[in-house]
A and B are shown apart, each in its own frame.
Chain A
């Protein structure tokens, strides 16, 4: 269920809801991997250009995560039982895919 009335993170493997206009939204999505294995249940947070927390989601069974941000520079930070990792991304409108690796 993708839920826009609450604040909880929606199911990360769900398809983008039809109400989401990807021409207007800045979607940052990707998969967390340890080596070549996807990591489910990883906690991924989106930090803004000053390093401040903006949102956090838990990856799906296939390791997927997705954020709705604004154009700009962002950092992704993952915590998991398989280890932690970071990635930075410059996102514009539309969908930006990011690979996020974790290691112990």
Chain B
């Protein structure tokens, strides 16, 4: 896996605006950012409304995904370039999702919306619309997705990477600090998980660090690349960012994202939970 096939620079993106066969997609949890200005030609995906099932806790199924992409004018052969706010968290989540449903060529815009804005590149309020397509999705590739039982089985046996902030890992906070903290679930982390906050992998402007820097960070944190890995966070989007780094940039072979993440695990009855800054015992 090479960086060039999964990540595009802002310069590349600017040169390819409007190019045939390239679709820019802004992905956010709150799409009001798109409405106040987006990359020219980009269509929008709303993480909650478009990508999550409206009733039960799961994401849209294969048929819903096909319908969604068809309506947005995305074809199976298109190069899909995803970007968004929150340091590309939701764009990385959507990237994982496109892979899960077997899209051929999907890439992230390095630095996402933040770098684009800080660089003073063009944004438009003009909504983009593309002619509808007839998109065909594959069955979910479950080698990319971890469920709660996989996580419990991985305690003490596989790499568990908790990508939340140190305070969330230790149990001092229950959510990222831009959100209120009172929640139903217990605080802490999955025993034996190492804590490598997603932000270690990114520069201040939201771009990814170099492959050498990334290898150094996960190596020093004790990630054993001979073992399978499960990444998790609170709701699965920050861990998509780390999943992207480990599998797509560094080429680790068996890396799964646990999209249930702490909001599921921290509410389970009877599972082990570790508190404090250390991984803890399995």
Q: Which of B89, B178, B197 has the most CB of A within 10 A?
A: B178
- A104 contacts the other chain (Cβ, under 8 Å)? no
Report whether over half of chain A's contact residues are helix, strand or loop; otherwise say mixed. loop
Decide if B176 touches A55 in the complex (CB within 8 Å).
Answer: yes
Tell me, yes or no, whether B211 is within 8 Å of chain A by CB. Answer: no
CB neighbours (8 Å) of A8 from chain B are: 28-30, 47, 85-86, 89-90
Chain A interface size, as a band, is 35 or more
Residues of B within 8 Å of A, CB-based: how many? 39
Which of A5, A19, A55 is within 8 Å of B165, CB to CB? A55
Q: Knowing A7-B237, A8-B90 touch, does A68 contact B178 (C-beta < 8 A)?
A: yes
Contacts of A41 in B (CB 8 A): 117
Q: Which residues of A contact B199 (CB under 8 A)?
A: 52-53
**B197 near A66: Cβ-Cβ < 8 Å:** no
B238 close to A (CB within 8 Å): yes
Query: Which residues of chain A are near B172, meaning CB under 8 Å?
Result: 70
Q: Does B120 contact A (CB under 8 A)?
A: yes
Do B182 and A24 have beta carbons less than 8 Å apart?
A: yes
Q: Which of chain A's residues have a CB closer than 8 A to the CB of B238?
A: 7
With a CB–CB cut-off of 8 A, which chain A residues contact B167? 48, 54, 70
- A8 CB, nearest partner CB in chain B, Å: 3
Report B-chain residues with C-beta under 8 Å of the C-beta of A1. 30
Is the pair A19, B180 in contact by a Cβ cutoff of 8 Å?
A: yes
Q: B225-266: contact bitstring with A at CB < 8 Å (1 yes, 0 no)?
A: 000000001110110000000000000000000000000000
Cβ-neighbour of A68 out of B28, B177, B234 (below 8 A):
B177
In the bound complex, residues from chain A placing their C-beta under 8 Å from that of B165 are 48, 52-55
Check if B178 sits within 8 Å of A9, measured CB to CB.
yes
Given A7-B29, A20-B180, A25-B181, list of 18 further CB < 8 A pairs? Answer: A4-B175, A4-B180, A7-B234, A7-B235, A7-B237, A8-B47, A8-B90, A9-B85, A19-B180, A19-B182, A41-B117, A43-B118, A52-B199, A55-B165, A56-B87, A58-B33, A79-B118, A81-B117
